[in-house]
Amino acid sequence: MSKHIILGAIRRGLRRGPLPEDQAMALRARMTAHPRHLIPARSRVPRPEQIALFLRNIEKEFGTFTRVPDLAAIPAAIADYLAAQNLPTDFAMAPHPELAAIPWSERPLLTQRPGRAQSTDLVSLQHGYAAIAETGTLMLPAAPERPTTLNLLSDTFMVVLRASRIVGAYEEAWDLLRAESHDERSGGFMPRNVMLVTGPSRSADIESTLELGAHGPRRLHVLLVDDDPTALA
């Protein structure tokens, strides 16, 4: 059996047999504790600066954003954004309760199609689970209410993100998942797929020159909802 051949060869190389139980226990304890390593200082700043760092990084990575006071302001913000980009007003939307609760009827010209994305969708709207200020990165775990295809198939990718869900470092975002997510089958917390997205798709394969919109979206637009009083300063 190849498994035994491989493990045997590894152990021969390491000049020992299977790991003694006390050592295995120590390693299991390390995984349970999952200690953090050095976290760069750049994201360990007061709340308002953290949000500002996130937004600066979004722009650095060729994304754009609109800051709105509450979820009720989303339809107008989207209508304005799509009009400014000369884009169609219908879009695929994550079937997430928070997005469903947005008062869409105030903008009857916008058409939402809840569900996964199709290849023909030009615009999609995703629910942002969390975001990481350190590099302007969105965390998008797959779930029935947050289909992965929405992140990938459209040309213009919009994400609703609450400011209270912006953290400094990746490790803090993992801790949110560890606390909030649960998979019945494995007993673990990892969703099937977790995408960390930093800016729109790009390639530098042609003559080492950067072009946006390789296989994924060409535009990334964040709709930031200011639901965090400590972030406003």
Partner 1 sequence: MHINSPKFKANVTHALADTRLQKALDFTRPSFAGRRGAAVANLPEFEQLRDIGRDIKNHTLAHLDFYLETWAANVEKAGGHVHWCSTADEARAAVLKICQDAGARTVTKGKSMISEELGINEHLEKHGIAPVETDLGEYILQIRDEGPSHIIAPAFHLNREDWEESFRKVHTDLPADRVFNERRDILTEARTRLREKFLAADVGITGANFLIAETGSSVIVTNEGNGDLTQTLPKVHIALASIEKVVPTLEDATSLLRLLARSATGQDFSVYTTFSTGARRQHDLDGPGEYHVVLIDNGRSNMLGTEFQEMLRCIRCAACMNHCPVYFTVGGHSYGWVYPGPMGSVLTPSLIGVDKAGHLPNASTFCGKCESVCPVKIPLPKLMRHWREREFERHLSPQSSRTNLALWAWFARRPGFYRLATRIGAAILGRLGRRKGRFQWLPFASGWTDGRDLPAPEGETFFARYAREQREKNS
> Segment 185-214, which members bind partner 1 (CB under 8 A)?
185-209, 211, 213-214
Binding of partner 1 at residue 2 (CB under 8 A)?
yes
Nearer to partner 1, 109 or 204 (CB): 204
CA 40: distance to chain centroid?
A: 20
C-alpha to C-alpha distance for 169 and 5, rounded to whole angstroms: 40
Nearer to partner 1, 106 or 180 (CB): 180
Nearer to partner 1, 18 or 88 (CB): 18
C-alpha to C-alpha distance for 191 and 188, rounded to whole angstroms: 9
* Residue 46 CB, nearest approach to partner 1 (Å): 19
Which of 49, 76, 216, 226 is in the footprint of partner 1 by CB under 8 A?
216
Considering Cα of 32, then 33, then 37, then 39, what sign does the dihedral take? Answer: positive
Please, is 152 exposed, middle or buried when counting C-beta atoms within 10 Å of its C-beta (0-12, 13-18, 19+)? Answer: middle
Nearer to partner 1, 11 or 101 (CB): 11
Binding of partner 1 at residue 97 (CB under 8 A)?
no
* Residue 23 CB, nearest approach to partner 1 (Å): 8
* Selection from 142, 143, 151 nearest residue 215 by Cα: 151
Q: Which of residues 160-179 bind partner 1 (CB under 8 A)?
A: 170-171, 174
How many residues bind partner 1 (CB under 8 A)? The answer is 83
Residue 19 is classified by DSSP as: P
Residue 146 is classified by DSSP as: B
In contact, 109 and 134? CB cutoff 8 Å? no
Residue that has been written with the tokens 């019945």 in this structure: 184
Q: Which of residues 66-95 bind partner 1 (CB under 8 A)?
A: 95
Q: Which of residues 32-71 bind partner 1 (CB under 8 A)?
A: 34-38, 40-42, 57, 60-61
Q: Which residue stretch of 72-80, 105-113, 160-168, 182-190 sits at the interface with partner 1 (rule: CB under 8 A)?
A: 182-190
Which of 75, 128, 147, 168 is in the footprint of partner 1 by CB under 8 A?
147
Residue 160 backbone dihedrals phi, psi, to 5 degrees: -90, 125
